[in-house]
Amino acid sequence: MAPPLSRESISGWKLARPWRCWAPTEAAKLTFVMHLNGLLKGEGSVEVCGLSVEKRNIAAIRNKIGMVFQDSESQLFMPTVLEDVAFGLLNRGMSAAEAGDRARTALNIVGMAAAATKAPYHLSAGEKKRVAIAGILAMDPEILVLDEPTTFLDPPGQRALADLLAHLPQAKILVTHDIPFAHALCNRAVFFQNGSIAAAGPVEEIVTRFGWEFALERSKLNR
């Protein structure tokens, strides 16, 4: 279902921490990111945190890379918030008591400890995103991958999310179209186009080169 990525975009791509980037693309951004934890396989090789992405390393890699998908409704699939956050830990083989404790700690980090017994359907979009992040944080990853995290978030929610992400120590990869958000959080940017990398560099340089900060220009024209 995903379009095939060209070979150059994957081979020789080394992830080192701490390192952030964002990738606005017409296609293939989620595809690229899904190669990182083995959800998709392509030609060539991918190495993450020193482990190559193949079947024997998949479980370890999925513990090191935490992926927060765009649609939190599909990411929170358990009946209660606490069960959902503990899902990854239980899959790792942890005991129920310890998984519950770790889940509660993760919920505390994102500020959603009060919602532990609620059903995900009753949460707002921002709260769902926080719980999804808690579910990933509970697994103690080294790299956080967030796919379009600002979708469905209103400006206060975006601000709260930016604050939360800024305080997390893990390396972050942000796949987003939201230029101000990326500006606020990231230092390096990678631009994908037609399935391969079109540009890479500091965020300001990429944005000015392609002229994506049109908000200020437009508002001047309107006046």
CB distance 42 to 35 below 8 Å: yes
46 binds another protein (CB under 8 A): no
Comparing CB distances to another protein, the nearer of 37 and 150 is 37
Considering only residues 60 to 99 of the shown chain, the ones binding another protein according to CB under 8 A are 62-63, 66-67, 69, 71, 73-75, 77-80, 82-83, 86-88, 90-92, 96-97, 99
Comparing CB distances to another protein, the nearer of 90 and 198 is 90
Total residues contacting another protein by CB under 8 A comes to 35
125 binds another protein (CB under 8 A): no
CA distances 178 to 59, 90, 118, 182, 187, Å, are 31, 34, 30, 6, 14
Q: Report the C-alpha gap between 110 and 68 in whole angstroms.
A: 14
Q: Which residues are CB-neighbours of 147 under 8 A, at least 6 positions away? A: 29, 30, 33, 67, 68, 69, 70, 175
130 binds another protein (CB under 8 A): no
Comparing CB distances to another protein, the nearer of 92 and 183 is 92
119 binds another protein (CB under 8 A): yes
Comparing CB distances to another protein, the nearer of 66 and 195 is 66
39 binds another protein (CB under 8 A): yes
Burial class (CB in 10 A: 0-12, 13-18, 19+), 219: exposed
Nearest distance in Å: CB 43, another protein:
21
CB distance 136 to 37 below 8 Å: no
